[in-house]
Structure 1
Amino acid sequence: MEHVPTTVLCADHCHLGEGPTYDPATDTAWWFDIREGLLFEANLGSGEVRRHVLGRMASALGRIDSSRQLVVTEDGLYIRTIADGALSPYLPLEADNPATRSNDSRVHPSGTFWIGTMGRKAERGLGAIYALHRGEIVRLFPNVTIPNAICFSPDGSIGYFADTDENVLYRVLLDPATGLPRGEPEVLVRRRTPGGIDGAVVDADGRIWHACWGGGCVDVYSPQGEHMRSIAVPASQASCPAFVGKDLSSLLVTSAWQDMDAAAKAADPGHGQTFLLDVGVHGRAEPDVKLSI
């Protein structure tokens, strides 16, 4: 296990920290506590952290433009005005199924938004992965239990995703212009060591960085599936990484205390906190999500 310089960006103990992203234009990182319906906003220059109460479970967002975000929630997609936090419905997603909620999501270089859903109790096969493309939602992969690790190669020609329940990372060829699949998913990594494949991000050189739920680390793989690094995170349930900072060389990692009892929390003092790791690698800026309006 490799140890790198690490700081606590936010000491709040998130029930289920997830969905980090970064806006270089404002030097601002965003992430969620899914279970508590909170959106966190951190200015990296000043270190100031703000908490926004959403009134519903939410798991991810994409930047639309300098004033708006598209927020992925338990019942659909909402446009959020950054200045006042107002949420306006955009499109429903599984809003008629109270057994599911949103989970891991990420924007493809083309502006298409891949969105995962899952059972609220992680019921087997109840979730799916969708794409918001040109204002319409298309189901890409059904019967997913815990969709995670959605990320894309720098040129947009390859997509990755995992079902944490299977502990398998998949690779699928994409149309770079649309972010939609051109073939069937193939197994890239079948994790056999402790911990689950959770959220992931791709760096500027195409390596895949995935948080290891229960493993207290971030694992790094080549595009060919070769394991390259394991970097320690000071929380056992690391949940999702994102490259942040002016040169995109810091790795923000969220974590969670979900399903931990008092003894487990005491043994894991970093549970649910949000960290910055100096990993010595550059990431890529996240693309804006494209809407039909």
Structure 2
Amino acid sequence: MKIDILDTIPDMLGESPLWDAQSQRLFWVDVVNSTVRALDPATGKEQAWTAPSHIGSIGLAPNDSLILALQDGFYRLHLPSSAIELIARLPTVDPRARLNDGKMDRQGRYICGSMGLHADPIGVLYRLTAPAALEPLADGIRISNAICFSPKGDRLYFADSMAQAIVVRDYDGDGTAVGEPRLFLDIKPLNSAPDGATVDSDGNLWVALVRTGQIARVAPDGKVAAIIDLPVDYPSCPAFGGANMDTLFVTSIRDSGTGRMVSKHENAGKVFALTGLGVTGLPETRFQD
């Protein structure tokens, strides 16, 4: 295994790495600076787009655009023009909360959870379906994280970071039912809270252990198969990408903006690229208009 550090300006709160297999670019966000960032690893070309509020997460969409989860709702960013348009505003806009972690399901619907800015239990897990249908799946959440799907799309993983556990729900692909949560992994023995997560093509879950500077690989049966130490103290979210989908990109935190996480590590806020893991990821689905 090899760990490289991408030659980019450090983020304040790096999150939501997202590989676009079509354009061969890595996208991610700096939540605190309300910025979407992109890097073409082949050329080193970087781009950035600014949003009107903090960006919790992003998803791929058709016609060279991205789905943005902002503080008050879901938006579409047209990359060539930088235009941002509203898709669906949240039913209740609470200044104490904002949208946070999110992933597209295998059918092209965006699953995204909100969080209390001070970790109050006011977050909601939403499902956004085209053109603008918004469905709540769970509530009473403090900090939504670790949202990802099994390769077949029949399992939804989710964590309330403050509970220090990842749960799994049976997920009906046609959207008729989402099962009750059951414990997948207790994070407490790993001395961390779970942050972002992704899955590989074999169904292993890779989760950022934000408090210990590590990534955990968890088998589909919930057993921890490996722990990888990273050269940073607060990793935030992993995502597979690269030409062969065998690179694990990991964002990190320099200053969360809330006072909960402030790092003086020399690599804080950098994006890391892990290769030689012996696994490949799955291309992310685009939002289905």
Shorter-chain TM range is over 0.9
Matches within 5 A, 1:223-234: 223-234=220-231
The residue number in structure 2 matching 1:128 is: 124
The residue number in structure 1 matching 2:193 is: 196
The residue number in structure 2 matching 1:254 is: 251
- Would you say the 8 A contact 1:10–1:49 is kept in 2? no
The residue number in structure 2 matching 1:151 is: 148
Structure 2 residue runs of 5 or longer lacking an equivalent are none
Distance across 2 between alignment mates of 1:248 and 1:66: 22
Question: Size of the alignment, in residue pairs?
Answer: 283
**Could you tell me which of 5, 8, 21 is aligned with 2:2?**
5
Residues 133 and 83 (structure 1 numbering): CA distance in 2 closer, same or farther, change over 3 Å? same
| Pairing 1:93–2:94 present | no
Residues 239 and 148 (structure 1 numbering): CA distance in 2 closer, same or farther, change over 3 Å? same
The residue number in structure 2 matching 1:286 is: 284
The residue number in structure 1 matching 2:70 is: 73
The residue number in structure 1 matching 2:40 is: 43
**Could you tell me which of 223, 237, 251 is aligned with 1:240?**
237
The residue number in structure 2 matching 1:183 is: 179
Structure 1 residue runs of 5 or longer lacking an equivalent are none
| Pairing 1:164–2:161 present | yes
- Would you say the 8 A contact 1:10–1:275 is kept in 2? no
Residue 13 of structure 1 and its aligned partner are, at CA, apart by 2.3
Residue 232 of structure 1 and its aligned partner are, at CA, apart by 1.8
Q: Give CA-to-partner distance per residue, 1:237-258, whole Å, 9 cap, x none.
A: 1000010101100001000023
Q: Normalising to structure 1: TM-score of the pair?
A: 0.92
Distance across 1 between alignment mates of 2:24 and 2:46: 12
**Could you tell me which of 10, 23, 27 is aligned with 2:20?**
23
Residue 259 of structure 1 and its aligned partner are, at CA, apart by 5.5
Q: Give CA-to-partner distance per residue, 1:196-223, whole Å, 9 cap, x none.
A: 1110001001000001111111101011
**Could you tell me which of 59, 62, 66 is aligned with 1:62?**
59
Q: Normalising to structure 2: TM-score of the pair?
A: 0.93
- Would you say the 8 A contact 1:75–1:94 is kept in 2? no
Distance across 2 between alignment mates of 1:51 and 1:171: 34
Residue 66 of structure 1 and its aligned partner are, at CA, apart by 3.5
Distance across 2 between alignment mates of 1:169 and 1:138: 22
| Pairing 1:107–2:109 present | no
- Would you say the 8 A contact 1:94–1:100 is kept in 2? no
Distance across 2 between alignment mates of 1:16 and 1:70: 19
Post-superposition, which runs of at least 4 consecutive aligned residues in structure 1 deviate over 4 A? none
Q: Could you say what secondary structure the match of 2:93 adopts?
A: coil
Q: Could you say what secondary structure the match of 2:6 adopts?
A: strand
Residue 48 of structure 1 and its aligned partner are, at CA, apart by 2.1
Residues 75 and 95 (structure 1 numbering): CA distance in 2 closer, same or farther, change over 3 Å? farther
Residue 64 of structure 1 and its aligned partner are, at CA, apart by 1.6
Distance across 2 between alignment mates of 1:86 and 1:259: 27
Distance across 2 between alignment mates of 1:69 and 1:95: 23
Distance across 1 between alignment mates of 2:136 and 2:56: 18
